[in-house]
A and B are shown apart, each in its own frame.
Chain A
Amino acid sequence: MSLQEFWDYLVLGVMLGSLYAVIAIGYTLVYGVLQLINFAHSEVFMLGAYGSLIVLQLVNPGDNPTALASIGFVALAMAGSALFGGVTAYGLEKVAYRPLRRRGAPRLIFLITAIGASFFLYNLAGKLFGRDPLPLPEMYQNREIFSIFGAGVNITQMLQFATAVVMMIALDLLVNRTKLGKGIRAVAQDAEVAGLMGVNIDKVISRTFIVGGVLGGVAGFLFANLNQVSYTMGFIPGITAFAAAVVGGIGNIRGAMFGGILIGIVETMTVPLLGDEWRAVSAMVVLILVLMFRPMGILGERVGRAA
């Protein structure tokens, strides 16, 4: 691999990794406050993509929109995906997890419920929106805008990366600087004591789900913008992002960002070095190695303590 190729793949890896990071945050946030692995998060991601598709079909960008209109369409699509993602995550918490929490069900039941909810949602989406993959209408003319170390970056990639970074910074600020963030951290550290101190645990938990859902939904839109929308699109990125969250240290937000980008780079670098067949293998090798030598993950601490 030449130096130029190295930069090419590194840039691609960071782009893909930033998306994994945003999805991984959804897993980590929920794990942080509930110690629950929300396997239905991949469906939040998928439904987010459908949200943007529905909005775009309503407004219909048509051919060759002006630059200003393009920005508007992207913003609308993003809002649609955020809304769908947030509502789905909120609904999940309300319907699937809250009743279990009320009854003090053991962890295992939560996990099975999550998997069941995931199956239910993706089959429901297949039923509602059809089993055929659908293209996202084109919102702008994709072209190369600049290059980093000779590696070209086009509008789609820039949009993907910039959105991911903005969302991650916003989330970091939210968790560390706001009252809701303080609540999230308090519940993560010790839900019972937080409750005694006057934190409304239910409210904090459902808002945490909404925040994770909004991020996941927008990631779904960005992903669909790269490829296409389909009801099965959530599974593979979902599992990969979950692995990324564990690599970074599940429950730790910065860990999820770090893990996501790491997994993205490893997967992408595998393609020229070993071939496409190995990309999923290499991501899981990273996971296994991390778990062998540092079972709590690379940055391994929970939301409550990391900040």
Chain B
Amino acid sequence: MLNKTIVKLAIPLAVGALALTGCGSDSGSDGAVKIAFQGPLSGDNVALGENMQNGVKLAIQQANAKGDLDFELEYVAGDDQGLPDKATAAAQKIIDDEGVVAVVGPAFSGPTNTSSPLYAESGLVTVSPSATNPLLTDKENGFTSFLRGVPNDNMQGAGMATYYAKKLQAKKVYLIDDKTDYGVGLATVAEKGLKDAGIEVVKKSVPQKTPDYSATAKDVVNSKADALIYAGYYQDLAPFAKKLKDAGYKGAGISGDGSNDAKFVELAGDASENWFLTCPCTDATVEAGTKKFAEDYQKEFGRAPGTYSAEAYDITNMIIEEVKKSGADVEREALRDALAKASYKGLTKTFEFGENGEFKGTDVYLYQVKGGKIGYQGNINELAG
């Protein structure tokens, strides 16, 4: 009886699957110039991806509305959920769409690492506003289509270390990474910086999605560390921060751009108060150059721009600028080479790339949660004095 049921189910399923593959493959070019974004548009850290996606969308909308283009720009979304194993499928989907001439992203370091070989092979340029793992521009990787629009974690980790050493004069720092490419990379640099400054470091790895952070929080308190660095994303930092508060931790806490989102404050509530957050990004709502952008963004999406929104906006504009020079029938490889050599002054900073696509420029900024808001403090090296 069972076998019959299986056969009955299997036939329509097989037919359906065939039909689907039949119509899935011929999505080819329809004349429009498309700019894609790859990042987490679902999954656990979706807020970070949406910040950037909105920046890209806004730039495309404004360019279309201006009316000085002799072609139509279109947006293509590539959702990698922020996960390395989902990234290749997202990248392949973008590559297969022949109209796509450039990609903003990938957003996270892990997915960049797995999808960059595909982009390199297809000659499709990717300019990431946020993937900060230093190894991504390593020559040995051969990621020939990867450009980084942000200072890497060497700068961010070093900035955290300098701030703790000089400004807070910490004696012992408890350093945690979340076992992702991003977290481990950031923690390694921070560790080096702290040790060079003569600070004692307790280094631990706490994998993402740990069901209960109580024991870890206790461990932090028991270690008598007077400062803490968390290298990971807000989804995990928020419950951890709550547990630290419950455990009676009184020291300072600092985390990187993976936690620098209003969601962190929303999830952690009071426990997020006084946390330091670093980011190679400026605050679009505060800096004079991005005020207008922040207003447009607010009007369009009904909320303030978040982490890397303005950077994604800048990068998209930079791509549009380059496409304009060669017109609608721009070739992928030609655009890649042009962008690698380009120098573009955006709202947030000047985008220029060195060897292997590494970003030229080193500025890292410090934020602190005050009164339930992430407050912009300024350039971290200047603050550390």
Which chain A residues have a beta carbon within 8 Å of chain B's beta carbons? 5, 8-9, 12-13, 15-16, 103, 105-106, 109, 126, 131-135, 138, 142, 144, 152, 154, 156-157, 223, 226-228, 230, 232, 236-237, 240, 267-268, 271-272, 275-277, 279-280
Contact = CB atoms under 8 A, between A and B. Distances in A.
Q: Among A138, A226, A230, find the residue whose CB has the most chain B CB atoms closer than 10 A.
A: A226
Interface in B199-245: 204-207, 209-216, 218-219, 222, 235, 238-239, 242-243
B208 to A, nearest CB: 10
A144 B246 CA distance: 8
Interface of B: 1-2, 42-44, 46-47, 179, 204-207, 209-216, 218-219, 222, 235, 238-239, 242-243, 246, 248, 263, 266-269
B214 A12 contact: yes
A126 B81 CA distance: 13
Given A9-B215, A105-B2, A154-B246, 19 more contacts: A131-B46, A132-B47, A133-B238, A134-B267, A135-B266, A157-B246, A223-B211, A226-B212, A227-B211, A227-B239, A228-B238, A228-B267, A232-B209, A272-B219, A275-B205, A276-B210, A277-B205, A277-B207, A279-B210
A80 to B, nearest CB: 20
B46 A16 contact: no
Nearest to B178: A276
B215 A12 contact: yes
Nearest to A133: B235
Nearest to B6: A109
Nearest to A15: B214
B218 A8 contact: yes
A133 B218 contact: no
Looking at chain B's contact residues, the main secondary structure is helix
B211 A237 contact: yes
A16 B218 contact: no
Contacts of A9: 215, 218
A207 B21 CA distance: 44
A135 B267 contact: yes
A16 B213 CA distance: 10
A18 to B, nearest CB: 12
A235 B41 CA distance: 21
B371 to A, nearest CB: 14
Contacts of A156: 246
Contacts of B248: 144, 152
Contacts of A15: 214
A276 B218 CA distance: 12
A228 B242 CA distance: 10
B78 to A, nearest CB: 16
A128 to B, nearest CB: 13
Nearest to B271: A142
Nearest to B209: A236
A268 B214 contact: yes
B204 A275 contact: yes
Nearest to B176: A276
Contact of A226 (B205, B209, B239, B263): B239
